[in-house]
Structure 1
Amino acid sequence: MRKTMLLVAVMLVAMTVPFFTVSADIGPKSGITIDIRGVDQPYFLDLLFPGEIDEFWRDYAETRLEECLDDFGYCSDFIPWLLLDFEEDGYVSSWLYRGRPTYHRQLDDHVYAYTYVPPREFKIIMVFEDGTYVTSPVVVTRLFQTRLVYDLTDVDLATDFTAAGTVTELVPVAGMTTDFLLRVILTIGIEILILFAFGYRLKSSYRLVILTNVVTQVTLTIFMFVMHWWYAPFFGEIFVLIIGEIFILAIELYVYIKWLKEQSKRRASVYAVVANLASFLIGLILIIVSFGLVF
């Protein structure tokens, strides 16, 4: 049994080595999409992050502001000079003073996307052409890919406002539920089909396999689900999948050899190995498909 587990573990790792030998910067990046509502005048959008205005970077920031009208149209209407020295409760412009690039891309009217690891704690600031501004309450995002609605419908934008409006994080409950159920049902379904192909027919055999998989595969799917939506899609999911399937193989070898008695112990152990390799491949395919569709 130990040799079998070692062989399978080596195979699982070997199948995923190509995914980990690429550049570390190739994986998905966390992002934020902001939908602005209740504003009908030109504005410049930025995120304020916890930081300070460093004099060393201030000259660079000033140059960036001077050139922003020509910088691929990033400042499309006016130059937001207010941001150069703007500080509010320890929050400063992420566009000007954050270490990594923090640019937004306009997706639609009043819809903007920050696609390269934006700050997870920030305030939204909107600077208007007449020099007034509005800032949001502090936002702390939860999801790896976050969609926010910033509603300023009831705010008087003629004067400066801080902590104004409401910011709502939209949680894709329907998408999460579908993702979770698809992973679980496909994985368990494949293992049941393989059980049938191995010649098992007794109801007791199917009850044992279904019960075992409900416990093992649901647990694994929960960890992969958390990686996908909150922490590290793709590479994090693959890591969890490899480690999880190795543990599941150990559990299922023990359970099936001891209690799957319709056929020989050798057949039960071979079934466990084949079924887990199949569930691993299904999991890997779902990760790749999800990566391609979402990112």
Structure 2
Amino acid sequence: MIRLLYSYEDEGWFPAFVEGTTRPMYGSLTGEAHEDTMIHEFGYLGLPETYRIIIVTESGKVTVSDTFTRKVLQSSITYDYLSNQGTTPPLLTAYIVQFFSTCIPTLLIEFIVLLLFGFSVKNNYKVFLTVNITTQLIMTAILGATIIYKGSLYANIILFSVELFILLSESIIYSKLLKGYTGKERVYYGVVANLTSFIVGLFLLSKQYEMIVSLLSIRY
């Protein structure tokens, strides 16, 4: 059965887990049964991005799938042995979850700070919502993509740079567009609001990553 896993070696393919990779890789050839599904987990640095699924039975039957490309750091694929088809969870759902899990806490925190500073909600809610939703879309495009494709470690590394850019941008915009108080006080609001949401975001980042991974993994 192990020998048959090399059936497509002449086409340039090799069984990664059996053969071994230049970087560490772990997994399970036999898998674990879960109702009518077999679960196989493979991971770590040596996990190939482009791959095919090959299955060998005790009778010597060899089944190989089409070529798949792993698009995110942690993902899953459901392979139907009978139809020889594989499906993966949609990435759009992960982006939506990342956006709202960041945007909603940010809006709540910075709205509370707006009230504490004494700004008029009636006169400033349009600027407040427009600025925050726009910056959160930028945050999703940069930080969200990093979480999905690179993981929470890389996201933590770039988080400070992204937040600094947003802090400076929002503070400048608020100094020009917020109504009430002086320009300096509007800048102070932008700095305090963004620092507060940044501190909270540090604690939420790992939870966001867990939610995204669960969405991109097999669910029962």
Quickly name the TM-score band, shorter chain normalised.
0.7 to 0.9
CA 1:219–1:292 in structure 2 vs 1: closer, same or farther (change >3 Å)? closer
How big is each residue's C-alpha offset from its partner over 1:191-219, in whole Å with a ceiling of 9 and x where there is no partner? 11110011112522222222111212221
Aligned to 2:44: 116
Question: Once the 2 structures are TM-superposed, how far is the Cα of residue 176 of structure 1 from its aligned partner?
Answer: 4.2
Q: In 1, Cα distance between the equivalents of 2:157 and 2:123? A: 33
Does the aligned pair in 1 maintain the 2:95–2:140 contact within 8 Å? no
> What residue identity is the alignment partner of 1:108?
A
Of 72, 92, 99, which residue of structure 1 is paired with 2:14? 92
Of 152, 155, 158, which residue of structure 2 is paired with 1:237? 155
Aligned to 1:249: 167
> What residue identity is the alignment partner of 1:152?
Y
More helix by share: 2
Question: Once the 2 structures are TM-superposed, how far is the Cα of residue 114 of structure 1 from its aligned partner?
Answer: 0.7
Q: In 2, Cα distance between the equivalents of 1:108 and 1:227? A: 33
Q: Counterparts of 1:1-295 in structure 2 under 5 Å?
A: 80-83=2-5, 87-95=9-17, 96-105=19-28, 106-109=31-34, 110-117=38-45, 118-154=47-83, 165-171=84-90, 173-229=92-148, 231-291=149-209, 294=213
Larger radius of gyration: 1
Does the aligned pair in 1 maintain the 2:119–2:179 contact within 8 Å? no
Q: In 1, Cα distance between the equivalents of 2:180 and 2:32? A: 59
Does the aligned pair in 2 maintain the 1:241–1:283 contact within 8 Å? no
> What residue identity is the alignment partner of 1:168?
T
CA 1:220–1:272 in structure 2 vs 1: closer, same or farther (change >3 Å)? same
Could you state the TM-score of these two structures normalised by the residue count of structure 2? 0.82
More strand by share: 1
Task: Tell which deviates more after alignment, 262-271 or 99-108.
Answer: 99-108
Q: Percent identity?
A: 27
Does the aligned pair in 2 maintain the 1:202–1:262 contact within 8 Å? no
RMSD: 2.4
CA 1:240–1:204 in structure 2 vs 1: closer, same or farther (change >3 Å)? farther
Does the aligned pair in 2 maintain the 1:198–1:271 contact within 8 Å? yes
Query: Which blocks of at least 5 consecutive residues in structure 1 are unaligned?
Result: 1-78, 155-164
Q: In 2, Cα distance between the equivalents of 1:256 and 1:103? A: 51
Question: Once the 2 structures are TM-superposed, how far is the Cα of residue 242 of structure 1 from its aligned partner?
Answer: 1.2
Question: Once the 2 structures are TM-superposed, how far is the Cα of residue 108 of structure 1 from its aligned partner?
Answer: 3.4
CA 1:88–1:283 in structure 2 vs 1: closer, same or farther (change >3 Å)? farther
Equivalent residue pairs, number: 206
